[in-house]
Structure formats: structure tokens, C-alpha cells
Chains A and B, each alone.
Chain A
Amino acid sequence: AQSVAQPEDQVNVAEGNPLTVKCTYSVSGNPYLFWYVQYPNRGLQFLLKYITGDNLVKGSYGFEAEFNKSQTSFHLKKPSALVSDSALYFCAVTLRTGGFKTIFGAGTRLFVKA
């Protein structure tokens, strides 16, 4: 079965420290990869995407993500966390074949402590 795994339900980090939110996937082919963020009482918002090219992609709010094809991973990173980064983060993959179905991970809640 095709799936996206976010192995950590919650990540806690102190403000100013680097953060990593992990994502691995198991799908056929070479999917498009995305990160979305959900703030309380707000809809899902796009953060960044990997389509092709450089394995390190940069997105909104200082976030970046590293694509690793051999490990089928797409980890989200930020060099210095802010309290305002506290939110729910979703990794998503979109299949390039058989229709543009998108599969989301279960989400990782990030807490940044002041």
C-alpha cells in the first residue's frame, strides 16, 4: 500500500534551536513532495515543494526540506525555530502516474518553547 509516514506525533524544540520534522514515503514512481502547515483554527497552508532538481528546497518562513531519494525521505528543517512556528505539519506526496492522487501523512505537532 502506498503511504506517507511521519514517525513523530510531536516534536518539542527550544526557540532558537534547529528543528527537524521527519517524513518518509512508500509510493510507486517519483512523486511530487510537499509540506503543509496548519495553524489553530486556520486551513492548511502550503509551505514548500520538491518537483525536481536540487535536493534542498527552500520555502516560506525560513523553512527548507531535504529530499533523499535512496531513503525516500523528505525531512522538513529550520535552522532557528520561533515560538510562532508552533503548529501542525503535514507531509504530502502526489503521484505522477495513475492520476494526481495526493497522500498525506498523519501530521506532526511542533511545539517551540520560549
Chain B
Amino acid sequence: DTGVSQDPRHKITKRGQNVTFRCDPISEHNRLYWYRQTLGQGPEFLTYFQNEAQLEKSRLLSDRFSAERPKGSFSTLEIQRTEQGDSAMYLCASSLATESQSYNEQFFGPGTRLTVL
């Protein structure tokens, strides 16, 4: 399967612990996005990368959240000092931007479901 993959698929942690999620995008895609989705809501934009550069970051992303894409390939999203309100599905998506088409559709991974106890 050459789609977007995320690891782990499920994570249960205790409040105050740090967690890290990984996303592997489609290999030729230069843009990578992170979203958070809670029950009954659409995905909420968190941040996005063009290659290794983090170009946009939502105000939803508090100082406890950090994302990296060190070599312009896979990305990690870390949440420090988790809170119960962080419980959600964390989605990763990737897309290909070209000079002729600066914006194309996003391909989503299956998500990582985080439960903070």
C-alpha cells in the first residue's frame, strides 16, 4: 500500500505524559498536514509543511504541541504534558503541489486515536 500511513493507530496515555505520533506521506508528495478530529466534528487544521519547512500553524496548536518534518519525508507530532482535552483522532494528510497546480487534493492516513486518561 503506497498511501499515507500513521503510527501508532491507537495510543492510551495518562495525563501529563508526552506522546509522539509519526506520519509517512505518499513518497512524492511535498506537502504534509496535521489535523485533529473529535467526535461529530470535521478535521481541525493544526499545521502544514512544504517539504521540511513548517509554513502554517494554527492558533489551536499550543506550546505543548510541536511538529517536525526533518528531511521533508516523514513527520512527527509531539504532545507534551497531555491533557484530557487532547483526546481526539489525529490525522495526517499529504498532497502534491506543482507550479501548474499549486493546490491539489489531500490524501489522508487512517489516523492515530489518542485517549488521555
Task: List residues of A whose CB falls within 8 A of some B CB.
Answer: 4, 32, 34, 36, 42-46, 49, 51, 90, 92, 94, 96, 99-107
Contacts and interface: CB of A to CB of B under 8 A. Distances in A.
Contacts of B48: 99-101
B63 interface: no
Interface string B97-110: 00001011111111
Most-contacted residue by chain A among B41, B93, B103, B110 (CB, 10 A): B103
Given A43-B108, A43-B110, A94-B103, A102 B45 contact: yes
A43 B109 contact: yes
Contacts of A49: 104-105
Given A44-B91, A51-B103, A101 B45 contact: yes
Contacts of B25: none
Contacts of B42: 4, 90, 92, 104-107
A44 B108 contact: yes
A32 B103 contact: yes
Contacts of B44: 104
